[in-house]
Chains A and B, each alone.
Chain A
Amino acid sequence: MKIDFSLVTRRTFLNTLFGGWLVAFMGGSLYGLLKFAFPTLGKEPDFVILKPEDFLNIPANSVKPFAWGGKLGLFFKHSNGSTTALKGVCTHMECNITYIPNDKKFYCACHKGWFDENGKNIEGPPPKPLEFFDVTIEGDKLIVAKKGIKVELPKA
């Protein structure tokens, strides 16, 4: 069928075609580039396994650091001898905290934030309490896990 009048001129048709091609090409390239430049995010671990002999014997009222993924974890023995573990990262701006045994408090040097020994934010800018973990011992393994995570160890 031959049409007498066309709705678009040849020039408009070609411009749209080439323009569209250019946009699609640039968009696709940019998408690929961004996909590459943007990192594949890792994830915080659900649990870590430590050696009990390294941690259970620390003196009362002290902490020992361990690696919680890429972050600082603190194994903590209260002055009454009970043990627990927590993420040693300030809830304000993610600086690493430290334990001050004399005051029985956790302290962040970056913006002077304080937490009590139960991790409650008591002074300074931190908006939330510290995150505590569940600590269990299975045989020769000390398992530190996120609260509410069921740890299933691979059968050896």
Chain B
Amino acid sequence: MNCPRLKNWFSERYNFDEIRDLAKKKFVPNHKYEVWYYTGGITLFLFIIQFITGIVLSFYYIPYFEHAHKSIIEIVTKLNMGWFFRSLHHWGAQIAIVVLFIHVWSTLLLKAYRKPRELIWISGFILLGIAIFFGLSGYLLLWDERAFAAVRVATGGAGNLPVIGEFIKAFLRGGIDVTGDTLTRFYAFHVSVLPLITICLIGLHVLLVQYHGMSVPISVKKEKRTETPFFPNFVYKDLIIWLIVLGIVVTLATLAPPEIGKKADPLAPAPENIKPEWYFLFLFQTLKLFPGEILGMNGETIAILLISAGILFFVLIPFFDRKSQRDERSTLFTWIGIIYFLYFVIMTVIGFIS
């Protein structure tokens, strides 16, 4: 369709050439590691799916502890395609977190965080934290036994942080205990607070990537490289991969809809063989390693402090890794990255099979 008058109307008011030039100027470097560039785009695509499916689910979900569990059962049993959209929201979240982890580790191992891209790394890390909090808060909305126990443990774990722990715990729970107030609060986090922060941070993250351009790994930096125009070549490749990802998510959503447990009962014992979501398993397994008391101190507090220190170091890696700041090979930090990765994978697997 060609509408010259409409085009004229806009071009009399806005300068499109500038935007067109901007798109023409953007190039993506070609090299053997470029496949990892797609993980960021896939995450973005999955977040878009989460936003859309989340919005339609919120049309029907009731964020009140007496009705929440039943309203989800009604969504999946009585509404047109309700089972599909809930399942898609579930699987979209799962795959988004998988891809996010791949994105984080490929950035880490390819040293894409190095100067001048430290802020991209940090904004990305905060987004990972938010994605996990999205998972935890979304998961409580089910209001089943497993979610109830998991949220008690997770918010209680935050309570073990010294000084600010109790404050955070009470703020998250909306009281001293996990109750209906917690559900309403988590709903607010899940549908308003987190999405707004996410949109702002994704905006910043993507803007910074545009500003700095794509990072080229140190090892291939000196080789002769060609470049692909971002538009349309790279965008088309992105779209092809997004279509494949959509296929995977829809297949999983159709063949493996997530179960809904028994309604949460604050007076029922924790169900046998209870396990958190897989992306919490490494923390869960770490907590199990620590005895209740170490040298007269509370074992949990020590465990939580060590975990926090490990995570803090991970965030600050771009500032510690002096060598890659100077574009030199930094084997030490490659190993640190591999150790973090192995710890995560091994603990997750142990948590899964034990």
The residues of A with any CB-CB pair to B shorter than 8 Å are 37-39, 41-44, 65-67, 69-72, 88, 90-98, 108-112, 121, 124-128
Contacts and interface: CB of A to CB of B under 8 A. Distances in A.
B194 to A, nearest CB: 15
B170 A72 contact: no
B170 A96 contact: no
A128 to B, nearest CB: 7
Contact of A88 (B152, B269, B273, B288): B269
Given A41-B170, A127-B292, A127-B298, A69 B177 contact: yes
Given A95-B270, A111-B288, A41 B176 contact: yes
Given A39-B181, A42-B176, A43-B176, A94 B287 contact: no
Interface string B176-220: 110101000000000000000000000000000000000000000
Contacts, number: 94
B271 interface: yes
A60 B153 CA distance: 32
Nearest to A68: B267
Interface string B281-317: 0001001101111000011100000000000000000
Contacts of B149: 95-96, 110
Contacts of A66: 267
Give chain B's interface residue range (CB within 8 Å of chain A).
20 to 34
Contacts of B153: 93-95, 110
B261 to A, nearest CB: 13
B40 interface: no
Given A39-B170, A70-B177, A108-B270, A127 B152 contact: no
Given A38-B170, A95-B153, A109-B270, A70 B179 contact: yes
B180 to A, nearest CB: 10
Contacts of B273: 109
A114 to B, nearest CB: 11
Specify which of B156, B170, B267, B300 lies most central, judged by the most chain A CB atoms within 10 Å of its CB: B267
B299 A127 contact: yes
